[in-house]
């Protein structure tokens, strides 16, 4: 029973890493430098590696029969999770105002607070 809980944690970590990667794809390249963050290229490398590592560790218990507890305590899944968490907690809010879609609120903007 405890194995399933730790396997669920690995799956949740993978979903978070994939979310960070997909979100970073929607941010223009210039937004990172405008927000005084590392380049988009560096964040893409970090998040692609994190997502690949997260996917590998999320399917390893089913594919290899490995113990999820032992996998979760390794350095790679922890580092991948931290990379995605830093992006989501620090970089995403900083580059959010520079997004093309601005969080899904489309339409013409006539005033400083949105459409009139």
**Other CB atoms within 10 Å distance of the CB of residue 26:** 12
Per residue in 15-69, pLDDT (tens digit) is 999 999 999 999 999 999 999 999 999 999 999 999 999 999 898 877 877 787 8
Please compute the mean of the pLDDT values over residues 89-114 and round it to a whole number. Answer: 71
What's the pTM? 0.80
64: tokens are: 């290899």
**23 conformational bin, left if phi > 0, alpha if psi -120 to 50, beta if neither:** alpha
41: tokens are: 């290229």
Grade residue 102 by pLDDT with cuts at 50, 70 and 90. Answer: low
CB 42 within 8 A of CB 48: no
Per residue in 59-96, pLDDT (tens digit) is 887 787 778 788 777 899 999 999 999 999 999 999 99
User: How far, in Å, CA of 68 to CA of 76, rounded?
Assistant: 13
């Amino acid at each position: 029973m405890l194995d399933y809980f730790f396997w669920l944690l690995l799956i949740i970590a993978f979903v978070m890493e994939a979310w960070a990667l997909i979100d970073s794809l929607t941010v223009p390249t210039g937004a990172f430098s405008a927000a005084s963050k590392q380049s988009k290229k560096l964040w893409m490398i970090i998040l692609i590696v994190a997502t690949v590592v997260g996917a590998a560790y999320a399917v390893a218990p089913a594919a290899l029969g490995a113990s999820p507890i032992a996998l979760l305590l390794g350095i790679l899944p922890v580092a991948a999770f931290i990379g995605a968490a830093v992006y989501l907690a620090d970089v995403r809010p900083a580059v959010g105002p520079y997004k093309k879609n601005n969080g899904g609120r489309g339409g013409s903007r006539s005033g400083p607070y949105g459409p009139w």
